[in-house]
Amino acid sequence: METKFFTKENLSIDEISSFFEKGEVIAFPTETVYGIGTIIEEKEKLYLLKKRDFSKALTLHISRLGDVEKFSDEIPKEFYILADYFFPGPLTIIIKKKKNLFINERDSVAIRMPAHGITLDILNSLKNPILATSANMSNNPDLIDAKEVYDLFKDRIRAVIDGGICPIGTSSTVISLIGNIKILRDGFISKEQIENVLKKNI
């Protein structure tokens, strides 16, 4: 397939949303690194494109906090405390997922609200969040430039959205709220910042 390259000059939220709704894979900018995403029903495409181990989780990208209730029946108070302070922003929060929801073999779901205006506009235009992962090959460096993403996935995904160089340039912090609260991946947001917001040591 031909990969369309969107810039600020030819950006069409409607066209990109249509691609997502049809189950296409799109590369998009965030404040951290570029991601590739699609609708939940087509999640296998992401694993195959990246040669990613199917045991590894994907992240649900949202633009509305209310959407989280579609995916979890057990949302701890800490989720809303962290989301109110850090969303949109470079934090991924893991909570328990609904039992009838199949995203992966795990009993959890990772939630993120990226702080990038273009991507938030696209997510707001969709009925449901998308599943996504970093726009690179598994175990390779993250990409922060749309042109590098285009060169990597050219003719294998439907579109790349150029939102400029990702300003943070490193992955989001990942925190699990299942059982004892713990940081699973260090990122831009520090453990100390999270402890200050939660008003507890983790």
Amino acid at 201: N
Residue type, 58: L
Integer Cα distance of 13 and 71 in angstroms: 25
Task: Tell me how far CA of residue 56 lies from CA of 5, 53, 75, 144, 161, in angstroms.
Answer: 28, 6, 22, 22, 25
Rounded percentage of the chain residues whose pLDDT exceeds 70:
99
Return the residue matching tokens 């943070």.
168
| pLDDT greater at residue 99 or residue 147 | 147
pLDDT above 90 (res 56)? no
Question: In this structure, what token pair is assigned to residue 132?
Answer: 């996504």
For the beta carbon of residue 155, count every other beta carbon within 10 angstroms.
8
The answer to which of 55-59, 167-171, 193-197 has the lowest mean pLDDT is 55-59
pLDDT digits (tens, 9 = 90+) for 121-169: 999 999 999 999 999 999 899 999 999 999 999 999 999 999 999 999 9
Q: Which of 160, 139, 130, 112 is nearest to 11 (CA)?
A: 160
Give the model confidence (pLDDT) of 104-116 as tens digits: 667 899 999 999 9
Q: What is the pTM of this model?
A: 0.95
Average pLDDT over residues 77-89: 98
Distance CA 113, CA 60 (A): 8
Question: What is the mean predicted confidence (pLDDT) over 73-86?
Answer: 97
Please determine, for residue 101, whether its predicted confidence score (pLDDT) is greater than 70.
Answer: yes
118, exposed or middle or buried, with CB in 10 Å at 0-12, 13-18, 19+?
Answer: buried
Q: DSSP state, 33?
A: S
Report all structural domains of the chain as residue ranges with CATH numbers, in order of start: 4-198 (3.90.870.10)
pLDDT digits (tens, 9 = 90+) for 154-166: 999 999 999 999 9
Q: Pairing state of beta strands 59-61 and 108-112? A: parallel
Mean of the pLDDT values across residues 9-20? 98
The span from the CA of 160 to the CA of 150, in Å, is: 6
